[in-house]
Structure 1
């Protein structure tokens, strides 16, 4: 036999690649067959069963961590999270009714062996069914002994059958150049080491590859691929009074190749380092009630926290939710120059890649653009397959972290203003309003690290946006003054009425949103907004002293030496 080594190796490589690609389809084939088998068996034993679905998140991650110029960790992992849904009863009333039961997440081995996969699916489904039975029986009991609920809508609704499959992932081609990424990260955190005021200097990256599988007893079969890259640079210092002062630089792209250039990031880090030094001696802001400007990034977080969460339809089914907007469809909720869209179908806003993109949600429904506010008028909510009074049918916003129960969640939030002003004109409005109210200054919120809100009835409905870069803008035209220790607080309905104007530049904040169904990727894009009255409070601070020992790399006495001759 004549054997050409090069062509033989190529054939072996092609065979291995073909086997790898076929193996990805094996999982869906196995899930679909096992779902039908178990549904048929359970249906015979319990005719209350009317719907089942399987969801698998097959996740591969690569991560690198550095500190002050040194690589402290390089990791990679591969795992699968299996989420079965079992519904007993009917669309009108089932085991998920206001309690969130009916799903029992587990794991599936990341192997290409149908027999092993079936065993894991069988065991997890059995647990999910038993859990669903207990929940359903408790719900039936509750119906007999508790008063009627405010929302009488059904627990579930039909959805169109969907068949969609992304091509198999080529993992070898997607594997990032860890050596090159590590060198960049080490250079980034080394810049922070050169500043003697800094206590931490960390640069990290995480590249995640996800292949999601969904199949249900209505015939839907969906395989969707996604990738995401988070690069973060974090540093902190401490003021003499003990206040901890962090700053972040966060970069998001679908793949590492989409991240900003090394020179661009280094420039950002040097600027961040200088700001941290300035923050140590910046004055502490006193509580304040008066006018302010929120930058596009800050206002994006503002709208996400205090507005977006109140549009999440499924939470309105609960009698414990505040129902801020539940009966407000068709009425003004924002100034008439503002409109808000939630759109998971887009991958970019302007030049920025956005984190809330997906094709199908976690209940197997196609992602949809939803115009929630048009010219200040509330038009819609973010809906799952769980209806609420006055709103029925999903618009593709059922989302969850791997293993969670899908809830109504935000995607890519976009705020648009029909009437805008320049950034300079907005600042002039701020100065005039501050003077009118008798203040020496107003506030400009440049950047935030995040925020949170409460939407229930048992606690006051309030919000807290956590700024990390805040300036006083003086009425008399003096240069803006950096301050520290500010939290932006308030109540939502009163705050919406205070928005007066917006500028003409859209900025994007990419992040992860945590709620009942875990952490999901989101983005918020907005112009800067001028608000005639905001309220701030002092940020909590530590009472711990600055480090007693000097940093070893800055301790000159430790590096002095004497020589001894023998």
Structure 2
């Protein structure tokens, strides 16, 4: 989408929002007091190859709209529980989220009209249900108001999306995937590139307009290794960036795949442990995952308005929640980060405006160990509430406060040798046979609702155990788990070389891109538990080109 087209579509959407606000007035029902459209225009490219041959090469366009229709007033409207659960695919409006990809005005107007009418009727029904619910149950946060009234904005930013050379990338993934032929124990594999060009057009009934474009490039090589004993070990070589210039060249990527395949052979030969309780040294990406799961999701402000949430830190403002040498903030305005070696990396969690049309800002969450704030959108979570521009969603889900560019900083960073020695010291003090070092963890999950146990899990890809005499050996078969307060209160040291993890994060409002920057962390006590593990039988006859052993 070019700038001229974006401006034209934004004008059409603005006119329809004003027309709807004037026209949607039904006697006996609360008025439509606010309406916004977030139109997402998507140019998607996906190419996949296996064992040196293309399997898929697709490019397609899509366009959808997140419509927010609110009835009542800024003090009280139909939204309950901070909007966390306004994400049903069974709603009538879900059928109308997709918009025409042509740029003709009449089809777009009709698409917006159909979506808006359904959203309005659903909002009125939700308002009546809320009134009925409150005949029995008390809304303890009603005094905070429903929606922050914000000044109008007008930011018609540039649309600057890098070109996609499909011929180059189809040849790239094809040649990269051929490396797998060198490793017959890798029984399944693929190399894939996904490109997502996204242009956001935000307008609302107050007269705001914001235009912003994003580009996401995700290059992955998936390897599924089957050992002779039947142990299946998956591995992913992944690069996720907003800038294709930061993706590796073909030779470098082929080298990464070869290194991963050789590493899988070592992991398969490593001893399997089933449980552990004791000190753990988490390298930067793994440490960032711990902070993201144990702390970050619990600082999402919308959760403070949900009756079913545990609200772990609701009463902790001003209290010590981390060691005094750690500071945590989330700044989506940060576009790039320079690592300790001087290399610059793009941040996929960067944006200028959130999905409620609020300018992004640096949310100061924890200062020198003390909790100072939450990630917030326009849903009030305290008196004199001000959004810090962190409300986002994936598609049809109501946007909620989410992490963007999460940065954990230390005022007392220690080098790798010191961190490792402190791990050994803890092992000796606790009389344990070894300590654990988490070298890589790529995903996790957590439960934040009051009904479930307050716990989190990190998917460990690569770990080792460190013995009191300094020896270190790889281990396999475990994930790290814990309860949030015990885990973060157990942090006793941080490293001096932070690392970056660009990834997708899932929550009630869908999957959104996030960036986490963190140093390594030493935790006094963390638990490991067995992965779900069912050994496989060997294939009935050899792969082509493989000799039967």
Please tell me the TM-score bracket, short chain as reference: over 0.9
Give, in whole Å, the separation in 2 of the partners of 1:393 and 1:44: 32
**Are the structure 2 counterparts of residues 336 and 390 from structure 1 closer, same or farther at C-alpha, using a change threshold of 3 Å?**
farther
Deviations 1:503-528 (CA, angstroms, capped at 9, x unpaired): 10010111000000000000111111
- The residue that corresponds to 1:402 in the other structure is 395
Contact 2:320/2:370 (8 A) holds in 1:
yes
Separation (CA, whole Å) in 1 of partners of 2:33 and 2:164: 44
Question: Match for residue 443 of structure 1?
Answer: 436
**Structure 2 counterpart of 1:495:** 487
Alignment of 1:252-291 (within 5 A): 252-291=240-279
CA distance in 1, matches of 2:285, 2:178: 27
> Post-superposition shift, 1:24?
2.9
* Superposition pairs of residues 89-488 of structure 1, within 5 angstroms: 89-98=72-81, 100-101=85-86, 104-105=93-94, 106-149=97-140, 152-168=143-159, 174-350=162-338, 351-390=344-383, 392-478=385-471, 480-488=472-480
Relative distance call for 1:67 and 1:522 in structure 2 (3 A) is same
Q: Distance in 2 between matches of 1:143 and 1:467?
A: 45
1:553 Cα deviation after fit: 3.0
Q: Secondary structure at the match of 2:144?
A: coil
**Gap change, CA 1:501 and 1:318, over 3 Å in 2:** same
1:176, 1:256 within 8 Å by CA — same for their partners in 2?
no
Partner residue of 2:4 out of 3, 22, 25: 22
Match of 1:550 in 2: 542
Moved more, 373-382 or 174-183: 174-183
Distance across 2 between alignment mates of 1:553 and 1:404:
49
Q: Given the two structures, how large is their TM-score scaled by the length of structure 2? A: 0.94
- Root-mean-square deviation (Å): 1.9
- CA separation of 1:242 and 1:136: change in aligned 2, threshold 3 A: farther
Contact 2:14 2:207 in 1 (8 A): no
Instruction: Determine the C-alpha separation between the residues in 2 that align with 1:390 and 1:115.
Output: 43
Deviation track 1:253-285 (CA, whole Å, cap 9, x = no partner) reads 223222122232222222111111112221101
How do residues 18-97 of structure 1 correspond to structure 2 at under 5 angstroms? 21-43=3-25, 48-97=31-80
CA contact 1:413–1:524 (8 Å) conserved in 2: yes
In the TM superposition, residue 296 of structure 1 has moved relative to its aligned partner by 0.3
How far is the alpha carbon of 1:48 from its aligned partner?
2.0
Preserved contact between residue 161 and residue 220 of structure 1 (Cα < 8 Å): yes
Verify: 1:541 aligned to 2:533, yes or no: yes
Q: 1:516 maps to which residue?
A: 508
What CA distance in whole angstroms lies between the structure 2 residues aligned with 1:240 and 1:112?
57
Distance 1:151 1:433, change over 3 A: farther
Structure 1 residues 301 and 151 mapped into 2: Cα distance closer, same or farther (>3 Å)?
farther
Deviation at 1:23, TM superposition (A): 2.9
Q: Which shifted more, 238-247 or 352-361?
A: 238-247
Q: Which deviates further from its counterpart, 123-132 or 141-150?
A: 141-150
Pick closer, same or farther for the CA change 1:33–1:151 going to 2, 3 Å: closer
Q: Deviations over 1:341-396 (max 9, x none)?
A: 10100111212211100000000000001110110000010011001245712100
Determine if contact 1:207/1:256 at 8 Å carries over to the other structure: no
Deviates more, 1:195-204 or 1:405-414: 195-204
CA distance in 2, matches of 1:21, 1:436: 63
Q: 1:108 to 1:296 in 2, by over 3 A?
A: same
Aligned-pair distance for 1:305?
A: 0.8
- How far residue 415 of structure 1 moved from its aligned partner, in angstroms, is 0.6
Q: Evaluate the alpha carbon distance shift between residue 21 and residue 397 of structure 1 in structure 2; reply closer, same or farther with a 3 A threshold.
A: closer
Q: Which residue number corresponds to residue 13 of structure 1?
A: none
DSSP 3-state at the match of 2:24: helix
- Deviations 1:21-47 (CA, angstroms, capped at 9, x unpaired): 533322111101111111111137655
The SS at the match of 1:552 is: coil
| Equivalenced residues, count | 535
Distance in 1 (alpha carbons) for counterparts of 2:502 and 2:446: 18
The higher radius of gyration belongs to: 1
The secondary structure found in structure 1 opposite 2:527 is strand
Q: Given that residues 506 and 512 in structure 2 are in contact (C-alpha distance below 8 angstroms), is that contact kept between their aligned partners in structure 1?
A: yes
Structure 1 segments of 4+ aligned residues over 6 angstroms from their partners: none
The SS at the match of 1:544 is coil
* Matched-pair contact (CA < 8 Å) for 2:49–2:191: yes
